[in-house]
Structure 1
Amino acid sequence: MKKTPTGTWLPAWVPESSLTLSVLLVLCAMVQSATGGYDGSMLNGLNILPSYTDYFDLGAATTGLNTASVFIGGFFGPMVSGIAADRLGRRPAIFWGSVITLVGILLQTAAQNIAMFVVARIVLGFGSAISGIAGGVYLSETFASRWRAWGVGLLNDFYYVGALIAAGITLGTGEWDSTWAWRAPSLFQGIFSALCIVILPFIPESPRWLVHEGHFEAARLAVAQTNSNGDLRDPVTVAVYKEIVDTLEWEKKTDGHSMSPRQIVRTPSARKRLLIGMSAGPFSCVAGNIIASYYLGPELDTAGITDTVQQLKANVVLNVWCLGCCLVGTHLVAQWGRKPTALLTQCLLVVCLFVIGGLSKVYADDPDGASKSLVYGDVAVMFLFQGFYSIAWTPLLYLYPPEVMNYSIRANGLAFSSFMLNAFAVLFVFIMPIGLANIGWKMYMVNASWDIVIVGLIAVYWVETKGKTLEEIDAIFEGEKHSDVPDVEAVRRGEKTVDVAAMDMQLVGVDVKPE
């Protein structure tokens, strides 16, 4: 461990092994996303439990309110998360977001009525939004470019780890004859935020935030720790560091020193980056997964599976399946690319929704005469849908936006993407149980229709970011890279060489003396 300056009040003792540090960064990603996954799966289970629905005397509207209230907090969290990440630092923003999340979880566990439960979930959603957005920005800026797709992709992949744990816990407590059947799963949700707080002292601050704030030696050390086992004079480390310094200096000269939310729409390039980057949030939200993510019980009801225990078991199996699919998807995103993977997934989702809608209609027309093959076929396609969704949208949700956005708009841009996602989610999570109750199978057909529009938007407007550092992606939008160093991956592969001493001389006014 090496005591590492962070430029903030939150200290760090960082392992010099880049591999060990990457594992810690992955664990940080895991606990961030596991909270959200746990929440979705837990509510899925609770909405099936009579001990929960009877305690709050829930109807369709109050079920939607209890479930969707977390997105109200998620709606307001992004309004401050970008500013907090820019001003306080990436790690302190993650810390305070985790603390607020813990407060919301404790209130949720102790809820005595619907009002208290809703307020608690708003607080929980607010804290999760802050830590999640700061975590997405932090990991995209800190991971070495060769590991970024996996490192940041896992930020949302572990959604299903949390979901699987919640599904197992709600299955285990489901037969308890007390309110702890739902309070215990709620209390368990706090373990992820607690783990995040424990990990933070052992990972460095974002090198890009450090450079922007003028902490150059700390930034170079952070780059060395994540790329070359702490070797400050490694060619890859020097190339990455100089690329960051040159690009941020160009941004300051071109865009000014403002880091306010208005920066995201200040220039044509910023607006283009924002629209492309933030689209991942709304696109993933309206794709159709909300039905199975929060209302698996009603969805299975439409397919003829109404037994509570069978629905809880289906919830467990679904999350195992989705975890495997999103890991496959992260591999595709890293090897094949962001845009092709998104297009493949979205097309498969359209097909699945039309099939689910058709099979559900056949069952709805004659529930008593429906064959078991029809019921199981409908459930199988529902599972395929969630798996296909997981292939692209799970890893891309937090990977793609910070890649597309440059430093000056990254935190606020990702916050805006999350804001739009939660705005849509508040609406869709609330209306889904009402829509399923009133129009049944037609809800799937409506969802499939707007998914076709999303396919076209991705095909026309998305750009590919695979294999590039965050600074090298500038060339796609600005027409040029704002540093004269060779591309980092070319240096790493030995295709290009760098003169470390010469680069040190070029960093005029920056103290780059290695320790």
Structure 2
Amino acid sequence: MLTRSPTATWIPAWVPKSTIFLSFLLMTCSMVQSATTGYDGSMMNGLNILPSYTNYFVLSPATTGLNTASIFIGGFFGPLVSGIISDHLGRRPAIFWGSAITLVGVLLQTAAQDIAMFVIARIVLGFGAALSGIAGGVYLSETFPSQWRAWGVGMLNNFYYVGALVAAGITLGTGQWASTWAWRAPSLFQGIFSLMCILILPFIPESPRWLVHQGYYDEARLVIAQTNANGDLTHPVVLTVYKEIIDTLRFEKEVGRTMHPKEMFKTPVARKRFLIAIPPGIFSCIAGNIIASYYLGAELTTAGITDSIQQLKANVVLNAWCLVCAVGGTSLASNWGRKPTAILSQVLLITCLFIIGGLSKMYADNPNGASSALVYGDVAVMFLFQGFYSIGWTPLLTLYPPEVLNYSIRANGVAGTSFALNAFALVFVFIMPIGLNNITWKMYFVNGSWDIVILGMIMYWWVETKGKTLEEIDALFEGEKHSSVPDVEMVRKGREQIDAKDVEQEISIEVEGLGRKLE
């Protein structure tokens, strides 16, 4: 059964009564950026292996890097406006426009006649994916119930491998075609995730925190009820979450916080939040995964596997393995915590990189005399590396940044994370084929060395956010929670009680005092 949910935007919503089914729809819609990006990485992996693609564009190492990395040019510019658009238009409209722009980029990429057209198409695609991805991550973190947030928001980026698996299967299927459709068909199918997202948008509500900030209190309470208690407006958890949000946003208004991007640098606490939220974007793209994510063919060649069909099959297996590891990592982040999961993942990555470098050197020193055990051992460690990356960085990239940012800087801060990721990815995706071509196995040792620095920064800077609502995380940074109600999970588990009548009265007084608009 569907219930109309006012959205205060031009996109209406008819929301299912079941909280569990609604959570599934939320996750499915917000997967668009990670699935599209995952599809893109796996597709480009396949295309860079296909002679029909490389011969059509007559690619060199430099133009291979340009064709592949150009999506990050759009991803570089998208975050400059995505936070502002999400804050002003609403989370759902921002997701819609990002998905629509992505579809335009997909069509241009499919029809590309030369390198220039291909690059422009991928810039458009990257811009749209950044816009929808930033809005989707913020939206999901603000809308998903707190007890499932690690799974809901963590699984958002896990869909990277769903997209990657689809692309790997398609490029494997079209890889033996003789025409340019061997690479055009995979390009066209990239738009399927954006189309799915647009179709699901009318059946999910707007972010309750965005609604409260805009002054739509009753509408926000209904969304909280729909996402936490099957639509029960009087449920204790609904009242607790609702009051936490109202109290915290009222506090932010009283101390003069605005939605302007400069708010991220205004106070020491805001700067600390920002400096913790930004690095995951950088760390996740320089950890070493770019080699296997975009240049698996070159990586496998250094290990001794040179047949293109075998490389395409390895691409399929790799993405299936990574999806399993990402789901396992999401479970770790939910039950063990964000910081321990990141530390475990990083230690394993460092170990693998140095082993891969050593094995690749052994093969490079004597490629004709290398044993099959050496070749397949190298490939096995490469697969382990990608799995260990997926355990930590895949779920944490979308889960952790919005958690450590308060409402007034959340959209712009997540945009900053995405900006940093795309800026660094643009450079690293471009230089990786050049580096692998020039210094081969030494790239792994270089990468492993800076991963050690990343590990130290995680251990020193990160704070643990497990088991808290977005409002309760404030106490970790500001020394106090800005609401008088007990923590939501304590109420949900029955360890704390609230007086529903008193809370209702306090809410009525606060809403009346705040007026129709918080700004």
TM-score range, shorter chain: over 0.9
Query: Does structure 1 retain, via aligned residues, the 8 Å contact 2:3–2:15?
Result: yes
Within a 5 Å distance, the mapping from 1:170-249 to structure 2 comes to 170-249=171-250
What SS class does the counterpart of residue 466 from structure 2 fall into?
coil
Cα distance in structure 1, aligned partners of 2:478 and 2:196: 40
Q: Which amino acid aligns with 1:76?
A: F
Task: Report how far residue 279 of structure 1 moved.
Answer: 1.2
Cα distance in structure 1, aligned partners of 2:201 and 2:94: 11
What SS class does the counterpart of residue 255 from structure 2 fall into?
helix
Equivalence for 1:407: 407
Cα distance in structure 2, aligned partners of 1:300 and 1:511: 64
Cα distance in structure 2, aligned partners of 1:187 and 1:320: 22
Q: Which amino acid aligns with 1:188?
A: F
Q: Which amino acid aligns with 2:277?
A: G
Cα distance in structure 1, aligned partners of 2:411 and 2:77: 15
Equivalence for 2:334: 334
Cα distance in structure 2, aligned partners of 1:209 and 1:84: 12
Equivalence for 1:23: 24
Q: Which amino acid aligns with 1:143?
A: F
Equivalence for 1:453: 453
Equivalence for 1:114: 115
Within a 5 Å distance, the mapping from 1:376-391 to structure 2 comes to 376-391=376-391
What SS class does the counterpart of residue 14 from structure 2 fall into?
strand
Equivalence for 2:276: 276
What SS class does the counterpart of residue 158 from structure 1 fall into?
helix
Cα distance in structure 1, aligned partners of 2:190 and 2:155: 19
Query: Does structure 2 retain, via aligned residues, the 8 Å contact 1:32–1:131?
Result: yes
What SS class does the counterpart of residue 112 from structure 2 fall into?
coil
Q: Deviations over 1:278-327 (max 9, x none)?
A: 11100111100000000000000100000000000000000000000000
Within a 5 Å distance, the mapping from 1:34-73 to structure 2 comes to 34-73=35-74
Q: Which amino acid aligns with 1:470?
A: L
Task: Report how far residue 16 of structure 1 moved.
Answer: 1.6
Cα distance in structure 2, aligned partners of 1:428 and 1:27: 30
Within a 5 Å distance, the mapping from 1:480-499 to structure 2 comes to 480-499=480-499
Equivalence for 1:421: 421
Query: Does structure 2 retain, via aligned residues, the 8 Å contact 1:338–1:400?
Result: yes
What SS class does the counterpart of residue 443 from structure 1 fall into?
helix
1:324 paired with 2:324, answer: yes
Q: Deviations over 1:132-154 (max 9, x none)?
A: 00000000000000010000001
Cα distance in structure 1, aligned partners of 2:430 and 2:35: 23
Equivalence for 1:296: 296
Equivalence for 2:370: 370
Query: Does structure 2 retain, via aligned residues, the 8 Å contact 1:29–1:154?
Result: no
1:440 paired with 2:462, answer: no
What SS class does the counterpart of residue 156 from structure 2 fall into?
helix
Cα distance in structure 2, aligned partners of 1:36 and 1:308: 23
Q: Which amino acid aligns with 2:333?
A: V
Cα distance in structure 1, aligned partners of 2:500 and 2:362: 69
1:88 paired with 2:89, answer: yes
Query: Does structure 2 retain, via aligned residues, the 8 Å contact 1:29–1:151?
Result: no
Query: Does structure 2 retain, via aligned residues, the 8 Å contact 1:322–1:390?
Result: yes
What SS class does the counterpart of residue 505 from structure 2 fall into?
helix
Equivalence for 2:517: none
1:150 paired with 2:138, answer: no
Task: Report how far residue 23 of structure 1 moved.
Answer: 1.1
Q: Deviations over 1:373-394 (max 9, x none)?
A: 0000000000000000000100
Cα distance in structure 1, aligned partners of 2:124 and 2:216: 34
Task: Report how far residue 260 of structure 1 moved.
Answer: 1.1
Task: Report how far residue 453 of structure 1 moved.
Answer: 0.3
Query: Does structure 1 retain, via aligned residues, the 8 Å contact 2:8–2:211?
Result: yes
Equivalence for 1:13: 14
1:351 paired with 2:351, answer: yes
1:479 paired with 2:476, answer: no
Cα distance in structure 2, aligned partners of 1:291 and 1:269: 36
Per the normalisation by structure 1, the TM-score is 0.98
Task: Report how far residue 511 of structure 1 moved.
Answer: 6.5
Cα distance in structure 1, aligned partners of 2:348 and 2:510: 53
Cα distance in structure 2, aligned partners of 1:163 and 1:330: 18
What SS class does the counterpart of residue 4 from structure 2 fall into?
strand
Per the normalisation by structure 2, the TM-score is 0.98
Equivalence for 2:516: none
Q: Which amino acid aligns with 2:134?
A: I
Q: Deviations over 1:30-65 (max 9, x none)?
A: 333211100000000000000000000001000000
What SS class does the counterpart of residue 374 from structure 2 fall into?
helix
Query: Does structure 2 retain, via aligned residues, the 8 Å contact 1:217–1:511?
Result: no
Cα distance in structure 2, aligned partners of 1:384 and 1:30: 25
Cα distance in structure 1, aligned partners of 2:188 and 2:327: 28
Query: Does structure 2 retain, via aligned residues, the 8 Å contact 1:329–1:391?
Result: yes
Cα distance in structure 1, aligned partners of 2:31 and 2:504: 37
Task: Report how far residue 509 of structure 1 moved.
Answer: 4.5
1:310 paired with 2:295, answer: no
Unaligned residue ranges in structure 2 (runs of 5+): 514-519
Q: Which amino acid aligns with 2:164?
A: A
What SS class does the counterpart of residue 510 from structure 1 fall into?
helix
Query: Does structure 1 retain, via aligned residues, the 8 Å contact 2:290–2:428?
Result: yes
Q: Which amino acid aligns with 1:473?
A: I
Query: Does structure 2 retain, via aligned residues, the 8 Å contact 1:97–1:127?
Result: yes
Q: Which amino acid aligns with 1:88?
A: L
Equivalence for 1:101: 102
Cα distance in structure 2, aligned partners of 1:16 and 1:278: 36
- Give the count of matched residue pairs: 511
Query: Does structure 2 retain, via aligned residues, the 8 Å contact 1:216–1:511?
Result: no
